[in-house]
């Protein structure tokens, strides 16, 4: 096996990374051109289920409209605060 220098290794690695990225991009472009779009899958529901789904969607839209219509004051506190967990320090070893 041939030994190569550190600089030669980095040069070859950079060339490989760039060529791999370009090859993946060209392959993805070729696949998107040839692949036919799949039609969306429609779930088969009964008339009663369709009615319930449409009622629930209408109720959800009504609730969301009510939430979005509220104005909140700028002085409002956040609902929760994220704090970083600080690892517990171990007591110094005696000795």
Condensed to tens digits (0 to 9), the pLDDT of residues 47-91 reads 999 999 999 999 999 999 999 999 888 888 877 788 888 888 877
Give the pLDDT band of residue 28 (cuts 50, 70, 90). confident
Q: Over pLDDT 90: what percentage of the chain?
A: 23
Going by C-alpha positions, the residue among 36, 55, 31, 53 that lies closest to residue 44 is 53
For residue 29, tell me if it sits in a domain: yes
For residue 43, tell me if it sits in a domain: no
Phi-psi bin for 92: left (phi > 0), alpha (psi -120 to 50), beta? beta
* Whether this model's pTM surpasses 0.85: no
For residue 30, tell me if it sits in a domain: yes
Mean pLDDT of the chain: 82
For residue 22, tell me if it sits in a domain: yes
Give the domain range for residue 7. Answer: 1-35
For residue 19, tell me if it sits in a domain: yes
Q: How far is CA 48 from CA 41, 53, 54, 73, in A?
A: 20, 9, 10, 43
Q: For the chain, what is the domain count?
A: 1
For residue 25, tell me if it sits in a domain: yes
For residue 24, tell me if it sits in a domain: yes
For residue 3, tell me if it sits in a domain: yes
Give the pLDDT band of residue 10 (cuts 50, 70, 90). confident
Torsion of CA 20, 21, 22, 23, to 10 degrees: 50
């Amino acid at each position: 096996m041939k030994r190569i220098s550190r600089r030669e290794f980095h040069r070859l690695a950079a060339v490989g990374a760039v060529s791999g990225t370009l090859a993946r991009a060209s392959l993805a472009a070729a696949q998107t051109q040839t692949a036919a779009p799949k039609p969306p899958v429609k779930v088969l529901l009964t008339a009663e289920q369709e009615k319930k789904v449409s009622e629930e969607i209408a109720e959800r839209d009504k609730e969301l409209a009510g939430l979005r219509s509220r104005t909140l004051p700028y002085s409002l506190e956040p609902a929760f605060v994220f704090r970083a967990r600080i690892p517990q320090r171990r007591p110094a070893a005696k000795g």
